[in-house]
């Protein structure tokens, strides 16, 4: 079932999750345990992140630096198949511009279609030092709006190779990202929202936001989106802070603000109590968001279900 169908049929706000595949060569057991934990909460869909290649430099025995191209976290397709067919939960794989050609994207979408997966989240992806060489006339999507246009074309049965006699339309529900505190590359929030509207106009069906810790930022973002003519559902995304390092690493990596009250409370807490502080803060966010009739809440849990389990014990829904 499509994400927008889940939203339309729901008689209460939906709770969904986002997970991350194990590192290359890693063990999937931890992720399987996470899945066993979160399926108990009956999520209508689960997002699975995707990661492109990156350039790393390793020091050689002679003291020089050697460039290597590393694929960070493969496994998105296999995990999607597991979620879709073992747990009967709709999988939402992330599809990226960065690190993939349009031809590779089309192949990936065809494989998803074979698996009966109806949903994707289309994003540009993090910028990296690695630029995929383009050979044999291949091309790339520079921006998320370009990727969404490609998805919309495939939904209409238009493939990169013209004249395919058996080309069938697909039927993907397309999600995209939104930034309550604006994307760091945008000059201001209104401009960023207009970029988001372009993605919706190109075919995106719903929006999932970047994490935030001040609900007023989301409410302001939501209202501005509506004023700019965006009518697609907007699902707030939340992440529970679980370590003191988060109040530095999250702003650095995701360009978000941590409210002073929360930062002070985390700084004052003993390390073993930080997760409880984070859970209690998120609990207040969730209660306020639910009282404001959001269509659902999307939790970035990545590879640990412990904070989510603590939150769900306190959350009465």
Q: What is the residue-level pLDDT of the chain in tens, covering all 317 positions?
A: 999 999 999 998 899 999 988 876 667 888 899 999 999 999 999 999 986 645 444 444 444 444 444 555 467 888 999 999 999 999 999 999 888 889 999 999 999 999 999 999 999 886 555 555 656 567 888 899 999 999 999 999 898 877 665 678 899 999 999 999 999 999 999 999 999 999 999 999 999 999 999 999 999 999 999 999 999 999 999 999 999 999 999 999 999 999 999 999 999 999 999 999 999 999 999 999 999 999 999 999 978 899 999 999 998 76
Q: Is 185 helix (H, G, I), strand (E, B) or coil?
A: coil
User: 270: which residues sit within 8 A by CB, 6+ positions away?
Assistant: none
Rounded to 10 degrees, what is the CA torsion of 253, 258, 262, 264? Answer: 90
User: What is the pLDDT at residue 232?
Assistant: 98
CATH number given to 3-314: 3.20.20.220
Q: For the whole prediction, is pTM greater than 0.85?
A: yes
User: What is the pLDDT at residue 26?
Assistant: 66
User: What DSSP state is assigned to residue 130?
Assistant: -
Residue ranges of the alpha helices (H) in the chain? 3-9, 29-38, 76-85, 102-114, 144-155, 189-202, 215-227, 246-254, 260-268, 274-291, 306-314
Q: Which of 20, 77, 4 is nearest to 305 (CA)?
A: 20
What Rg value do the Cα atoms of the chain yield, rounded?
Answer: 20
User: What is the pLDDT at residue 122?
Assistant: 96
């Amino acid at each position: 079932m499509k994400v927008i169908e889940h939203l339309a049929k729901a008689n209460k706000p939906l709770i969904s999750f986002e997970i991350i595949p194990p590192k290359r060569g890693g063990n999937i057991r931890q992720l399987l345990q996470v899945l066993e934990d979160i399926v108990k909460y009956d999520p209508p869909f689960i997002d699975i992140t995707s990661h492109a290649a990156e350039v790393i430099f390793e020091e050689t025995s002679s003291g020089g630096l050697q460039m290597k191209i590393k694929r960070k976290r493969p496994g998105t397709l296999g995990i999607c198949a597991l979620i879709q067919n073992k747990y009967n939960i709709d999988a939402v794989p992330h599809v990226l511009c960065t690190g993939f050609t349009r031809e590779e994207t089309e192949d990936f979408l065809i494989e998803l279609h074979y698996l009966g997966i109806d949903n994707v989240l289309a994003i540009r992806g993090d910028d990296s030092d690695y630029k995929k060489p383009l050979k044999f006339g291949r091309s790339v999507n520079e921006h998320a709006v370009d990727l969404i246009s490609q998805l919309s074309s495939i939904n209409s049965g238009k493939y990169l190779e013209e004249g395919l006699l058996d080309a069938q339309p697909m039927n993907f529900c397309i999600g995209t990202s939104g930034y309550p505190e604006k994307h760091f590359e945008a000059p201001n929030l209104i401009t960023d929202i207009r970029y988001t509207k372009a993605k919706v106009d190109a075919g995106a069906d719903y929006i999932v936001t970047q994490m935030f810790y001040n609900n007023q930022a989301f409410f302001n973002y939501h209202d501005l989106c509506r004023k700019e003519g965006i009518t697609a559902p907007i699902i707030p995304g939340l992440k529970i802070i679980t370590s003191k390092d988060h109040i530095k690493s999250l702003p650095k990596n995701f360009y978000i603000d941590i409210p002073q009250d929360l930062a002070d409370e985390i700084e004052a807490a003993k390390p073993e109590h930080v997760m409880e502080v984070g859970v209690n803060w998120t609990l207040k966010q969730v209660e306020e968001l639910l009282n404001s009739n959001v269509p659902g809440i999307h939790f970035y849990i990545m590879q640990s279900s412990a904070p989510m389990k603590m939150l769900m014990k306190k959350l009465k829904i």
